[in-house]
Amino acid sequence: METALTELAGIEHPIVCGGMMGVGTAELVAAVAEAGALGFLSALTQPDPAALAAEIRRCRDLTDRPFGVNLTILPTVHDTPFAEYLAAALDGGVRIVESAGRSPEWMLPAIRAAGATVIHKATSVRHALSAQRLGVDAVSIDGFECAGHPGLDDVGGLVLIAAATAALRVPVIASGGIADGRGLAAALALGACGANMGTRFVATAEAPVHDNVKRRIVENTERDTRVVFRPFRNTARVASNAVSERIADLEAGPGATFADVAELASGSRGRQRVLADGDLDGGMWWAGQSQGLVGDVVPCAELVGRIVREAEDVIAGLSDRIGQRVASRAIDGAASG
């Protein structure tokens, strides 16, 4: 299954495990790479650029296949040395950067000088077009179903992916709402060169999160997410739990500000109490609607292989069914004539 993504990244399968805060570490990313897909270390999961450099080395000890680094540029409570994180990635030999959040314009000269590739995550066609004009190599387009920050337009993947592939010249990776081979086949049918998944990869054996989190993803349906932070123009999709419900109640109050929910929404709280300790109501944690499609916790190699086989079966099955329908109509037409 060769596409523009497999050619661009030098990988075997058109599947991406995007950068996930608190989850995108060497254990998971190396397992994804060994399965023939593309994984991204999350730069800001590491406490400082030196720790990112060490995590890159640790990942290289686990795999000799391509992997990348995600650098998400969003407002932070403390000053974050984004340029130093980028330098640590490029100095460490990483040649695929996933940018997200704000415009990647400032980082492109350094990426180009290092001979690296940049894939920019966008939540709308207009932002994807802006990234294309800046010179990114590919765009990962996030539908409203995705975990994390789906933007402010509330456009689902079925429309957004098709609109993006129609408007852009650079390769488009479909993201949001995909967890199996049917989703990959649909993404390819809509013109994308591959599929990016986050929530599905959290429910794998190698994901560095507590088993309680993995089991809850399997148990949850597509309805078990909550959209928060909308009043602050920073819409986010997270798992439904006591904390996200409390955040939703507080932010709906008159004159609410982010300060009213900041302690509940703390990323460090979610990473420690939920992802590490397994207290599912201990903090806010990310999950997409695709959790309703997740039925088990398996190793990354098994998951990637299954998705590719399912996608191939779906594509072949559609061709067979359409061919049979056309043949049946032709026979019926001949008989009636």
Do the beta carbons of residue 194 and residue 208 sit within 8 Å?
no
Distance CA 1, CA 73 (A): 33
Residue 324's pLDDT is 64
Residue 12's pLDDT is 98
**Which sign does the torsion angle of CA 128, 136, 99, 79 carry?**
negative
Return mean pLDDT, the chain. Answer: 94
**What pLDDT, in 10s, does the model give residues 7-29?**
999 999 999 999 999 999 999 99
pTM: 0.93
Mean pLDDT across 90-115 = 96
Do the beta carbons of residue 187 and residue 174 sit within 8 Å?
yes
**What pLDDT, in 10s, does the model give residues 234-278?**
999 999 999 999 999 999 999 999 999 999 999 999 999 999 999
Lowest mean pLDDT among 33-42, 57-66, 206-215, 323-332: 323-332
Residue 79's pLDDT is 87
> How do the domains of the chain map onto residue ranges?
4-208, 225-286
**What pLDDT, in 10s, does the model give residues 180-235?**
999 999 999 999 999 999 999 999 999 999 999 999 999 999 999 999 999 999 99
Distance CA 171, CA 191 (A): 9
DSSP SS3 for 153? coil
Amino acid at 141: I
Chain centroid to CA 18 = 4
Show the tokens assigned to 150.
């789906």
Is the confidence at residue 302, as pLDDT, over 70? yes
* Band (74; pLDDT cuts 50, 70, 90): confident
Q: Which CATH class is domain 4-208?
A: alpha beta
Phi, psi of 287 (to 5 degrees): -160, 140
